[in-house]
Amino acid sequence: MKKILLIVSGGIAAYRALDLIREIKRRGDDVTCVLTKSATQFVQPLSFGALSQNKVYMDLFDLESETNIGHIKLSRDADLIVLAPATANILAKMSYGVSDSLATSILLANNKPLLIAPSMNVKMWNNPATKENIEKLKSYGHIFVGPDEGEMACGEVGSGKMSKVEDIYKEIELLLSPGPLKGKKALVTSGPTIEPIDPVRFISNRSSGKQGHAIADRLSKLGADTHLITGPVNIPYPENVLVTEVNTAEEMLNACKESIPVDISIFAAAVSDWKASEISKNKIKKSINNQNDDEMVLTMMQNPDILKTISETNTNRPKLVVGFTLETENLIKSARSKMLNKSCDWMIANSHVQENQSVFNNDMNEVSFLTNNSEENWGLISKQCVAENLCNKIIKFFDSAA
Q: What is the pLDDT of residues 249-296, one digit of tens each?
A: 999 999 999 999 999 999 999 999 999 999 999 998 876 555 556 777
Q: What is the model's pLDDT at position 86?
A: 92
The reported pTM is: 0.74
Q: What is the model's pLDDT at position 344?
A: 96
Q: What percent of the chain has pLDDT over 90?
A: 59
Is residue 165 over pLDDT 50? yes
SS3 state of residue 147: coil
Catalytic residue among 33, 154, 385, 391: 154
Indicate the pairing of strand 375-382 with strand 364-370: antiparallel
**Distance in angstroms (rounded) separating the CA atoms of residues 56 and 46:** 8
The alpha-helical segments, DSSP class H, found in 222-326 are 249-259, 306-311
SS3 state of residue 158: strand
**Distance in angstroms (rounded) separating the CA atoms of residues 240 and 217:** 8
Q: Is 334 left (phi over 0), alpha (psi -120 to 50) or beta?
A: alpha
Contact indicator for 220, 238 with CB cutoff of 8 Å = yes
Q: What's at 113, amino acid-wise?
A: P
**Distance in angstroms (rounded) separating the CA atoms of residues 21 and 31:** 7
Q: What is the model's pLDDT at position 352?
A: 63
Indicate the pairing of strand 185-190 with strand 264-267: parallel
391 catalytic residue (yes or no):
no
Q: What is the model's pLDDT at position 46?
A: 92
Q: What is the model's pLDDT at position 156?
A: 74
Q: Which of 314, 240, 11, 41 is nearest to 147 (CA)?
A: 11
Mean of the per-residue pLDDT values for the chain? 88
Q: Which of 9, 179, 1 is nearest to 85 (CA)?
A: 9
C-alpha to C-alpha distances, 314 to 106, 221, 308, nearest whole angstrom: 53, 30, 12
**Distance in angstroms (rounded) separating the CA atoms of residues 25 and 15:** 16
- Going by pLDDT thresholds of 50, 70 and 90, the confidence category of residue 245 is very high
* 172-209 per-position pLDDT tens digit: 988 888 789 999 999 999 999 999 999 999 999 989 99
Contact indicator for 44, 122 with CB cutoff of 8 Å = no
**Distance in angstroms (rounded) separating the CA atoms of residues 192 and 259:** 19
- Going by pLDDT thresholds of 50, 70 and 90, the confidence category of residue 150 is confident
The alpha-helical segments, DSSP class H, found in 78-140 are 88-95, 102-109, 122-126, 128-139
Is residue 39 over pLDDT 50? yes
327 vs 3, higher pLDDT: 3
Q: What is the model's pLDDT at position 68?
A: 56
**Domains with residue ranges and CATH for the chain:** 3-176 (3.40.50.1950), 185-279+298-401 (3.40.50.10300)
Paired residues of 185 in beta bridges: 225
85 vs 384, higher pLDDT: 85
What is the rounded end-to-end Cα distance, in angstroms, of the chain? 27
